[in-house]
Structure 1
Amino acid sequence: MLVDAPYIPASIIEIEAQKAFETGKSRSAFGRQLATLALRGGALAVFIGVLAVFSVSAPFFLTVGNIGNVLGQSAIAGVLAIGLTIVIIAGGSNVVTGGIDLSLAANMGLSAAVYASLVQAGQGDGVAILGALGTGLAIGAVNAAAVTLAGIVPLLATLAVMNVVAGLELVLTQNTVVPASTDFLSALSAGGPFGIPVLAYVLLGFTLIVAAVVQYTPLGLRLYAVGAFPDAARAAGLPIKTFVAGSFLASGLTGGIAGILSVSYLSGSTTGAGDMLLPIVVTALLGTVFSRRLVPTITGTLLSALFVGFLVNGFQLLNISSTLVSGVQGLLILLFVSATTLLGRKETA
C-alpha cells in the first residue's frame, strides 16, 4: 500500500532552503574569520617568539644599537618589498596570475651599476641619482608594457625582464665591482641620531610616505579596488590597465631608489643582486599576515621586513650558517602560500 507524501507548499521549501543557505554561509564566514584570526595571531606569536628566543640566546639582540642596525640592514630589501607590495595590491595577491615583479632585485643591481659608473665617469651625485632613478623607471615601463599592452602574465613578463636586466648589468660592469664614493653616499651610510643608521630613517620615512598615499588616499583605495575587485572596478569606470601600469612604474622607481641605497651601503656597485630576490618576495608576501584583514599593506610590509631582518640578524649573532636562513625564508613562503590558498578555497566554498 502506497502512502502519499504530505503536500508541502513550494514557498515553504524555498524559505527553508534559503535558511539553510544563510546558515551555511554564516558558518563559512565564521570559519574564515576564525582561520584569519589564527593566521594573524600565529604570525604575531612567531614574531614575538623569535624576538624572545634571540634576546635570551644572543647578547645585545634587543639593544637600541642592534635594532637600529637591523633597520639599516633591512632598508634596501624593505624599499624593494614595498615596491613589490604596490604591484601585488594593484594586480591581486594570487602569486601565479596576480601582481608580481621578479625583476626588482635585478633592477636594483642595474640601477646601482649606473649610479656607480656615472660617479666613476666624473659626474656629480645629481646626474647619478637621475641616472639610477631613470633606469629603474625604464625597467618599470618595460614591465608595464609587457603586462598591459602585450598581455603577458606578470610572472612570466617580469621573469624575462629580470634576465635581460641582469645581463645588461654584467655588460655594464664587466662582472666586476665598480667602487663609488661621494659626500652624499657617505652621508647615507653614516650613523644618525641615537646611534641609528641614516638608512634606517630613510626606510621609516619612505614607508610613511608610501603608506600615506596607498592606504589613506582615494588613489590608494582605487588601487586596492583594481586588484581585489577588477570586475567591479571596471564596471565603475576605473582604468584597470592604467593602475596596473602605474604600479609597475612605482615598483621600478623603488628599484632605482634601492640601487642608490645599495651603492651607499656597499661603497659601490657589486654583483649578485639577484640573491636578494628571495628576501624581497618573502618580505612582501609575509606583510599580508601582519594586516588586519589579510590584505597587502605598506605598514604590514615594514613589519615583515623587521621580522626577516631580526631573523637574519639573530642567526648572524649566533653564528648560524646563512644557508639555513635561505631555507627558512623558502619555508615561510611555502607556509604563507599554503595558508592563503586554503583560506581562498574556504571563501569560495
Structure 2
Amino acid sequence: MSANADSLGDGFNARPSSHFAARAGRNFAAASLRAGSYLAFAAILAFFAWHVPFFLSIGNVGGVLGQSAILGVLAIGMTVVVIGGGSNVVTGGIDLSLAANMGLSAAIYATLIAAGFPDWTAAGGALVTGVAIGLVNAVAVTRLHIVPLLATLAVMNIVAGLELVVTQNTVVPASTDFLSLLSGYGPLSIPILAFVLVAFTLVAIVIVQYTPLGLRLYAVGEFPEAARASGLSVDRVVAGTYVASGLCGGIAGILSVAYLSGSTTGSGDMLLPVVVTALLGVVFSRRLVPTIGGAFLSTLFVGFLINGFQLLNVSSYWVSGVQGVLILAVVAATSILRREGTRP
C-alpha cells in the first residue's frame, strides 16, 4: 500500500514539473523566434549597408519611410482586424479588400478633384468610401456570419470592379496644393509622407495599446467566449475593426493620390505586401500577438527589403518570392507555437 502511494505521489509530482518544462520550452521558443526576427532585420540592414554605402543615410531612411507610408497605414488597418477577429489564418480576422479599398478611395478622390471639387470634399469622399466598404465587410462577417476570408474576398472583387467603372481603367490625374504638400519634403529633406506614417502609427499605438477600447479589442480577439460572458458585445467590436480598417483604406487612398499624382489601376498588387506586413508584425511583439508597433516594424522591414533590392537592381519578381516565403515562415512558426501551447 505504501509503495503504491509513493508511486502515485511521484506521478502527481512529475506532471506539474513536466508541464512547467513544456511551458518553459515554449517560452524559450517564442523568445528565440522574436530574437531571430530582430537579428534577421539587423542582418538585412547590414548586408545592404555593406553593398550600398548610403543605404542607412538619413535621406534613404526617410525615403523608405515615405515610400512605406501607404503600406504602413494599410498594414495597421489589417492588424486591427486581426487583433479583433483572432489570428487564425482561416477563421480569424482578415480584410482582403483593403488594397482594393485604397484603389477605389483613390479613384473617388482623384475623380472629384478632376471634376473641380475642393480638397476637403474629395478627401471626405475618399474617407466615406473607405468607411462604407468597411461597413459592408462588417455586415457580411457579423450579421451574415460569412467567414472573413470569403466575405472580404467577395467584397474585394466588387470594389475592384467599381474602381474600373469609376476610372474606366485609366489613371485619373490629380494636382492640388494639398497634394503637393503631402508629396513634398520636410526637415532634413525627409518626405512629408514619412512624418504622416510616424504620426499615424503613434496615434494608433495609443488607441490600441493604451486605452480601454484596445483592451476590449484584445479580449474579443483572444478570448471571445470569455469576453461575451463578461458582457462585451463581440459582434460590435469585430464590426468596429472592419470600419476602422475601411477608414485606413480611405486614408491610404488619399496618400496614394498624393504619392502618384493621381489614381492607380494597380492597387491589387498591394494585397500581398499588406498581408505579409500584418502577419510579420506578430514576430516583432513580446507575446507573438499582433500589435501596432509590430506592424510598424514589419513595414520598415518590408520597406528596407524592397529598397535594398531596388538599389542592387534585383528583379521585383524576387521581392514577391521573398514575401511569399515570409508568409509561410511566419504562419508556420506561430502555428506550431500556438499548437504546442494548447497541449496539456
TM-score band w.r.t. shorter chain: over 0.9
Aligned length: 343
Aligned position for 1:196? 190
Deviation of 1:187 after TM superposition, in Å, equals 0.2
Does 2:319 correspond to 1:325? yes
Deviating 4+ runs (over 6 angstroms)? none
CA distance in 1, matches of 2:3, 2:300: 66
1:155 alignment partner in structure 2? 149
- The one-character-per-residue Cα deviations of 1:42-68 (angstroms, maximum 9, x if unpaired) are 101100000000001013100000000
Identity %: 66
CA distance in 2, matches of 1:16, 1:241: 47
Hey, what's the Cα distance between the residues in 1 that align with 2:234 and 2:298?
Answer: 28
Secondary structure of the 1:8 match is helix
State whether structure 2 residue 177 is matched by structure 1 residue 218: no
Stretch of structure 1 that moved more, 327-336 or 20-29: 20-29
Query: Is residue 2:8 matched to residue 1:17?
Result: no
Task: Give 1:102's aligned amino acid.
Answer: L
1:292 equivalent to 2:286? Answer yes
Q: How does 1:1-349 map to 2 (within 5 A)?
A: 8-9=4-5, 15-349=9-343
1:153-189: CA deviations, max 9, x gaps? 1000000000000000001100000000000000000
Deviation at 1:345, TM superposition (A): 1.5
**Aligned-partner Cα distance in 2 for 1:167–1:106:** 9
Unmatched 5+ residue regions in structure 1? none
Q: 1:127 to 1:49 in 2, by over 3 A?
A: same
- Aligned counterparts of 2:8 and 2:153: Cα–Cα separation in 1: 52
Distance in 1 of aligned mates of 2:45 and 2:3: 67
Deviation at 1:293, TM superposition (A): 1.0
- In the aligned structure 2, how far is the partner of 1:92 from the partner of 1:299? 17
Q: Secondary structure at the match of 2:96?
A: coil
Distance in 2, Cα, partners of 1:256 & 1:154:
20
In structure 1, give the amino acid aligned to 2:117: Q
Deviation per CA, 1:46-98, whole angstroms, max 9, x where unpaired? 00000000001013100000000000000000000000000000000111110
CA distance in 2, matches of 1:193, 1:107: 31
Shift of 1:6: 7.0
Counterpart CA distance in 2 for 1:119 and 1:339 is 46
Q: Which amino acid aligns with 1:318?
A: L
Aligned residue type for 1:189: S
What is the root-mean-square deviation of aligned Cα atoms in Å? 1.1
User: Counterparts of 1:14 and 1:67 in 2: how far apart (Å)?
Assistant: 63
Which residue identity does 1:46 align to in structure 2? A
The alpha-carbon deviation at position 281 of structure 1 amounts to 0.6
Q: Hey, what's the Cα distance between the residues in 2 that align with 1:269 and 1:317?
A: 26
| Displacement of 1:19 | 2.1
Q: Could you report, residue by residue, the CA deviation over 1:209-233 in whole angstroms, capped at 9, with x for unpaired residues?
A: 0100100111101100100111111
Gaps of 5+ in 2: none
Larger Rg: 1
SS at match of 1:268: coil
Q: What is the Cα deviation at residue 15 of structure 1?
A: 4.1
> Offset at 1:7?
6.4
Listed one character per residue, the Cα deviations across residues 112-144 of structure 1 (whole Å, up to 9, x for unaligned) are 000000001110001001100000000000000
State the distance in 2 between where 1:224 and 1:14 align.
41
